[in-house]
Amino acid sequence: MASRITNGVLIATIADHFNIENLQTIKINDFKLSEGSNKGDNYACVMKSVKVRFQVEDGQEKEAMYMVKCMPEEGNMSKRIRDVSNDKYE
């Protein structure tokens, strides 16, 4: 899951959230991924919380938190979702 949350994804999200037009003015300093909900709270997804520290063009450091909703990567639910998706688009 962490492999899906890249600097590029974070920069695009921050730019959209803070109305920053030039993505190259955003520098990610650090981000931490943690559980966004208790195990079993979400039937067909996994929730993660992302806390990101970043700098903008003026050098000011800011912090933002986001919730990420992802498909499970393993287990029975992941297989069922993939099977249903494959059937739907075949």
How confident is the model over 45-79, as pLDDT tens digits?
A: 778 889 999 999 888 899 999 988 877 665 555 45
For the chain, give every domain's residue range.
Answer: 2-89
Q: Give which of 15, 13, 50, 11 is closest to 27, Cα–Cα.
A: 11
The predicted model scores a pTM of: 0.68
- pLDDT tens-digit profile of 8-24? 999 999 999 999 999 99
Q: Tell me the torsion sign for CA atoms 78, 80, 83, 87.
A: negative
CATH 1.10.150 fits 2-89, yes or no: no
What pLDDT sits at residue 58?
A: 84
